[in-house]
């Protein structure tokens, strides 16, 4: 591949990272606002996770610029710091969501509606799926394990969106009182796994940890 094509592909990879940051910011604002208003913990937790993904996305954008200059370079202090901050944020989110979920189950708390959870999760699945496809396409063309690993991380967001969709849809259809909290615990599980990944990556230069994600 000639140099011009590589430059163009790295630009695409960078702007995909920027789009991920902007999208997660908007998604976080909308989801936390509607989740709070409708008393839907799963939607609020999903939105909180989106804000943490913004921090991660900044690290990814920095990574793309780094490997563009030197494909064989290793993680620098900025990326390691971003990973540690992201890891702490994920663990804090897990603690908050877990405690609140258990409390809601104990008290029998129910959201007013989870309709917005259905809508937002469907949009998120579509957007994240398109991002995974685009990142994998660029990663393969550049033969970049780093960009392909980032695509793998974006795929985790799809799993969280599916959990939100299932929990929100079940509540809307059945009114089952505990499903919103159960869905929240599912989101907390993936947030915990992502927190683990962040700390493992911060300690090494490996793109993938023993858990298999980037």
- Helical ranges in 39-76 per DSSP H: 41-69
Per-block mean pLDDT, blocks of 10 residues, the chain (214 long): 82 94 96 96 95 90 87 79 90 95 92 96 97 94 86 90 96 94 95 90 63 43
**Closest listed residue to residue 135, CA positions, set 1, 17, 3, 38:** 17
The pTM of this model reads 0.88
Q: What is the dihedral of CA 43, 213, 51, 42, to 10 degrees?
A: 10
The pLDDT value recorded for residue 209 is 43
Alpha-carbon distance of 33 to 56, in angstroms, equals 22
Q: What is the DSSP string of 117-144?
A: HHHHHHHHHHHHHHHHHHHHHHHHHHT-
Domains of the chain: which residue ranges? Answer: 3-203
Q: Read off the DSSP letter of residue 74.
A: -
Distances from the Cα of 129 to the Cαs of 4, 71, 124, 134, 192, in angstroms? 28, 26, 8, 9, 22
**Closest listed residue to residue 134, CA positions, set 155, 157, 160, 120:** 155
Residue 214 in contact with residue 149, Cβ under 8 Å? yes
Alpha-carbon distance of 102 to 88, in angstroms, equals 21
Distances from the Cα of 112 to the Cαs of 68, 81, 87, 116, 181, in angstroms? 48, 39, 32, 11, 13
């Amino acid at each position: 591949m000639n140099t011009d094509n590589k430059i163009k592909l790295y630009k695409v990879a960078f702007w995909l990272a920027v789009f991920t940051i902007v999208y997660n910011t908007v998604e976080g604002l909308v989801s936390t606002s509607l989740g709070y208003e409708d008393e839907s913990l799963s939607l609020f937790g999903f939105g909180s996770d989106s804000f943490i993904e913004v921090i991660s996305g900044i690290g990814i954008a920095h990574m793309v610029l780094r490997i563009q200059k030197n494909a064989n370079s290793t993680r620098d202090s900025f990326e390691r710091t971003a990973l540690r901050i992201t890891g702490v944020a994920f663990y804090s989110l897990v603690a908050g969501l877990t405690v609140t979920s258990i409390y809601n189950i104990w008290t029998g708390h129910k959201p007013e509606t989870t309709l917005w959870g259905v809508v937002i999760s469907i949009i998120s699945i579509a957007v994240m799926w398109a991002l995974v496809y685009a990142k994998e396409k660029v990663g393969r063309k550049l033969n970049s394990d780093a960009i392909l690993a980032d695509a793998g991380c974006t795929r985790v967001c799809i799993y969280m969106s599916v959990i939100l969709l299932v929990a929100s849809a079940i509540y809307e259809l059945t009114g089952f009182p505990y499903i919103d909290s159960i869905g929240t615990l599912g989101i907390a599980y993936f947030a915990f796994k992502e927190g683990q990944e962040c700390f493992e990556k911060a300690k090494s230069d490996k793109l993938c940890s023993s858990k298999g994600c980037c």
